[in-house]
């Protein structure tokens, strides 16, 4: 219900709820601020280009913090005045957006379509976008992508067309793999990106809908006791050869706890309860949670040194971030153990 002129002070004071809502301006009909459950706020204009039975249109003028309220009000005033003359600003904007490339859509999705996602999930999304989606579809226009394009994209990723060994920084390295599992998961992400495109009226339909994906068997590998023993022997061998002790400790923790890689890599000493044997994670993919751990995991932690100035159990060798370069050591360990297709994620089972 509108009750007064929207000001910066009023906008700043608005609190999010469990669903979207709009605070309408009491002076300029059709101008308001939308508040999402995530707390994100945007200044918008609603209008009709015909009579009362015509379709209502919405234009997002800008995110709060990126545009001043009064500037947004003036923009809304012009949009609403043009609508009175039959000019459909939203349709024109949608047409322009449909002419954007898929690469531009991906950038818009990462900046504006992931407000409710955790930072770690956003990082995980960025990888497939950069390594698979942009190289194969990035130059195509959003409005011209068809289901056949998506199916061809999935086949190309599965066949390893985007596979690469990429140098990242002075010592970093990213192994980009193809395969049916990667193709299926990337098409799932692409579907989310096009759902965002539909919500922004960049196109009317989602070309990913109806695409039959490969079965995703990413959680179907289970190691027997004998295989775990083989893996342990490989870890000991790599450690004896001078392999990175942080990476080896992280791999052991993954095998002993069944926790996610991100949960172990970012583990802080303050989250470890040695006496009662559990981790009290303040933030994980599913939110705060308790992870019970057994004696073998506690023993690994007890042998680790604490690096002064770092809160992390597994700190980076320089800087203030947690250690990240686990994959290089993991590839050596799994090859030595004879498990060439085993992934770190499989240790969770």
Note the pLDDT of residue 182.
Answer: 86
Highest mean pLDDT among 51-60, 82-91, 188-197: 188-197
E strand intervals along 268-320: 272-273, 278-281, 289-292
What does the chain come to in residues?
Answer: 349
Q: Which residue has the tokens 């809160």?
A: 311
pTM of the model: 0.46
The answer, yes or no, to whether residue 220 has pLDDT greater than 70, is no
Domains of the chain are 8-89 (3.30.160.390), 102-199 (1.10.150), 225-348 (1.10.443.10)
Contact 179, 154 (CB under 8 A): no
pLDDT of residue 238: 92
pLDDT tens per residue across span 152-184: 999 999 998 887 655 555 544 455 667 888 899
- Angle in degrees, 0-180, between the axes of helices 295-302 and 245-257, rounded to the nearest 10: 160
| Helices 69-84/89-98 angle, 10° precision | 100
Report CA-CA distances (Å) from 206 to 142, 145, 187, 195.
Answer: 10, 9, 12, 6
pLDDT at 125: 82
Summarised one tens digit per residue, pLDDT across range 252-276 is 999 888 888 888 988 999 999 888 8
pLDDT at 89 exceeding the cut of 60: yes
Buried-exposed string 73-103: b where 16+ CB fall within 10 A, e elsewhere: bebbeebbeebeeeebbbeebbeebbebbbb
Residue ranges with strand state E in the chain: 21-24, 31-35, 41-48, 56-63, 164-168, 172-176, 272-273, 278-281, 289-292
Q: Is the distance from CB of 110 to CB of 118 less than 8 angstroms?
A: no
Q: 62 - beta bridge partners?
A: 43
Mean pLDDT score of the chain: 83
CB neighbours of residue 58 within 10 Å: 14
**pLDDT, position 206:** 94
Q: For residue 23, is pLDDT > 80?
A: yes
Please, how many CA atoms are within 13 Å of residue 156, restricted to the half-sphere of its CB? 15
pLDDT tens digits, 99-115: 789 999 999 888 887 76
Residue 2's pLDDT band (cuts 50, 70, 90): very low
């Amino acid at each position: 219900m509108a009750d007064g002129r929207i000001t910066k002070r009023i906008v700043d004071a608005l609190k999010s709820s469990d669903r979207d809502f709009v605070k309408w301006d009491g002076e300029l009909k059709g101008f308001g601020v939308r508040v999402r459950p995530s707390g994100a706020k945007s200044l918008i204009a609603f209008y009709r280009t015909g009579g009362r039975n015509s379709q209502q249109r919405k234009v997002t003028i800008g995110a709060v913090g990126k545009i001043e309220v009064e500037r947004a009000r003036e923009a809304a005033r012009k949009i609403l005045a043009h609508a009175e003359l039959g000019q459909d600003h939203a349709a024109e904007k949608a047409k322009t957006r449909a002419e954007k490339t898929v690469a531009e859509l991906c950038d818009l999705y990462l900046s504006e379509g992931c407000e409710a996602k955790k930072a770690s999930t956003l990082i995980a999304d960025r990888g497939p976008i950069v390594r698979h989606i942009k190289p194969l579809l990035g130059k195509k226009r959003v409005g011209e992508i068809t289901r056949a394009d998506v199916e061809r994209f999935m086949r190309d990723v599965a066949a390893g067309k985007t596979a690469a060994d990429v140098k990242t920084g002075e010592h970093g390295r990213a192994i980009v793999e193809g395969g049916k599992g990667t193709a299926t998961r990337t098409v799932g992400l692409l579907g989310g990106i096009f759902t965002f495109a539909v919500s922004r009226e960049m196109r009317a339909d989602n070309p990913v809908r109806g695409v039959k994906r490969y079965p995703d068997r990413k959680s179907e590998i289970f190691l027997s006791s004998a295989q775990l023993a083989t893996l342990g022997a490989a870890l000991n061998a790599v450690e004896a050869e001078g392999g990175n002790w942080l990476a080896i400790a992280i791999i052991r923790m993954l095998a002993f706890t069944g926790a996610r890689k991100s949960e172990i890599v970012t583990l802080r000493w303050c989250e470890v309860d040695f006496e009662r044997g559990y981790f009290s994670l303040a933030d994980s993919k599913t939110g705060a949670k308790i992870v019970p751990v057994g004696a073998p995991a506690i023993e690994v932690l007890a042998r680790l040194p604490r690096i002064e100035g770092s809160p992390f159990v597994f700190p980076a060798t320089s800087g203030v971030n947690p250690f990240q370069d686990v994959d290089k050591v993991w590839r050596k360990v799994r090859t030595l153990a004879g498990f060439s297709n085993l992934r770190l994620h499989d240790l969770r089972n």
